[in-house]
């Protein structure tokens, strides 16, 4: 399997890599089960095999079939995934789901994913073993089986998140297009209840095979989510086979963010442009290239978003499957063609801050080349920070979501924070 991000990173100077590492980054599109580190999955598979051997001895005829699914899926992930088209991607997950089907195994997997993104690693390829991101919005679809209910699934994931400060991570609850309408509504009700209990549930995602289901059937649950104060991020227009009707129907619920949005037609683009101040796109460069929804990075739709001044968030999608990192996704922005887009440091820095814009509802003040930018934020999360042009945090600050500060107030705050 080709690693586009690693190739881009290898082409950069150490100074450029240090710059990318130092950028404050937010990961906004990462699927829990698609980001489990391979070593963790291998450990779970070994434990699973031991349990299955016990099941065999008790005469459980389901065990061999499940064991074969796990073995086959793990072998593909170890050897490197090669996809001819995007729908093959979803065939990888039955094995992963089997390995995270109990609260105990789900807890292990969740902790490993949070560690991957938010903690320094002794095995990291980063120059200073820095965490991949400063803030993570992890998403997952709650599954129900004989070991746990959907609520227990989400509570297990949230319990691991509680290890970290609230400003470090939050949960997006995913609806799968293959779900029944009643199941979708149940999941949103659970998410809304957890949010009201003070848990860090911040939004609802729509995911799954992109051509499955009728978009109208998803609307009641999505509208109910908005009524409950949950923001929406929707996988949309991922393939050429996605219908215009599907795209326009999903846009009608006014999502805050769009996942991929690879094949928007002119009418959909016009809607996005009309909402450019309150809508962002989650860009997953390696994912799109490896799923063959984009043939070459020079033709990637991120170029249209940037040319039109729209907000973009650079994301990894599924690090287990694509063997990528957030740093490597940023390397694809900076590396010279044909390995990357060849963007300047200033352009990459602004994109990184756009990621922040996609997470925080209050005011974030960014000093870039002695120019003040009052970035009004309106999506997920609850943290406000002040950073300087190098990406260093100067001071945490708390503002009401509708508050605006004058330039004089901002300069006084930064002056006080930096001892000037």
The residues that are catalytic are 238
Question: What is the Cα–Cα distance from 379 to 370, expressed in whole angstroms?
Answer: 27
User: Nearest Cα to 284, choosing from 78, 87, 86?
Assistant: 86
- Inter-residue contact 119 to 164 (CB < 8 Å): no
Give the bridge partners for 364, in sequence order.
375
d(CA 415, CA 40): 46
SS3 for the chain, per residue? CCCHHHHHHHCCCHHHHHHHHHCCCEEEEEEHHHCCCHHHHHHHHHHHHHHHHHHHHCCCCCHHHHHHHHHHHHHHHHHCCCCCCHHHHHHHHHHHHHHCCCHHHHHHHHHHHHHHHHCCCCCCCCCCCCCCCCEEEEEECCCCECCECHHHHHHHHHHHHCCCCCCCEEEEEEEECCCCHHHHHHHHHHHHHHHHCCCCEEEEEEECCCCCCCHHHHHHHHHHHHHCCCEEEEEECCCCCCCHHHHHHHHCCCCCEEEECCCCCHHHHHHHHHCCCCCEEEECHHHHHHCCCCCCHHHCCHHHHHHCCCEEEECCECHHHHCCCHHHHHHHHHCCCCCCCCCCHHHHHHHHHHHHHCCCCCEEEEEECCEEEEEECCCCCCCCEEECCCCCEEEECCCCCCCCCCHHHHHHHHHHHHCC
């Amino acid at each position: 399997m080709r690693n586009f991000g690693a190739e881009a990173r290898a082409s950069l100077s150490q100074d450029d890599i240090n710059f990318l590492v130092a950028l404050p980054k937010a990961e906004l599109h990462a699927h829990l089960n698609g980001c489990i580190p391979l070593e963790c999955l291998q450990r779970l598979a070994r434990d699973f095999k031991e349990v299955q051997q016990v099941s065999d001895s008790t005469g459980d005829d389901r065990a061999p079939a499940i064991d074969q699914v796990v073995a086959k899926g793990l072998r593909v992930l170890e050897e490197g995934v090669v996809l001819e088209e995007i729908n093959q991607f979803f065939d990888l997950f039955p094995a992963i789901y089997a390995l995270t089907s109990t609260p105990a195994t789900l807890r292990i997997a969740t902790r490993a994913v949070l560690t991957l993104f938010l903690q320094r690693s002794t095995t990291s390829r980063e120059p200073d073993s820095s965490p991949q991101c400063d803030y993570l919005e992890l998403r997952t679809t709650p599954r129900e089986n004989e070991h746990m209910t959907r609520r227990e699934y989400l509570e297990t994931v949230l319990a691991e998140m509680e290890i970290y400060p609230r400003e470090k991570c939050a949960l997006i609850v995913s609806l799968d297009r293959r779900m029944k309408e009643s199941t979708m509504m149940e999941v949103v009700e659970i998410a809304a209840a957890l949010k009201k209990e003070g848990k860090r549930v911040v939004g609802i995602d729509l995911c799954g095979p992109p051509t499955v289901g009728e978009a109208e059937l998803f609307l009641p649950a999505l509208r109910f989510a908005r009524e409950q104060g949950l923001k929406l991020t929707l996988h949309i227009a991922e393939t050429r086979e996605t219908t215009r009707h599907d795209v326009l129907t999903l846009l009608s619920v006014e999502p805050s963010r769009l996942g991929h949005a690879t094949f928007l037609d002119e009418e959909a683009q016009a809607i996005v442009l009309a909402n450019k101040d309150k809508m962002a796109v989650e860009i997953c460069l390696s994912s799109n290239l490896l799923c063959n929804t984009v043939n070459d990075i020079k033709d990637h739709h991120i170029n249209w978003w940037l040319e039109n001044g729209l907000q973009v968030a650079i994301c990894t999608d599924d690090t287990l499957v694509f063997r990528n990192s957030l740093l490597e996704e940023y390397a694809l922005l900076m590396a010279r063609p044909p390995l990357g887009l060849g963007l300047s440091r200033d352009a990459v820095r602004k994109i990184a801050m756009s990621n922040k814009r996609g997470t925080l509802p209050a005011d974030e003040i960014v000093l870039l080349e002695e120019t003040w930018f009052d970035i009004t934020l309106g999506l997920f999360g609850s943290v406000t920070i002040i950073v300087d042009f190098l990406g260093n945090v100067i001071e945490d600050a708390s503002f009401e979501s509708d508050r605006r500060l004058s330039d004089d107030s901002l300069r006084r705050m930064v002056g006080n924070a930096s001892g000037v």
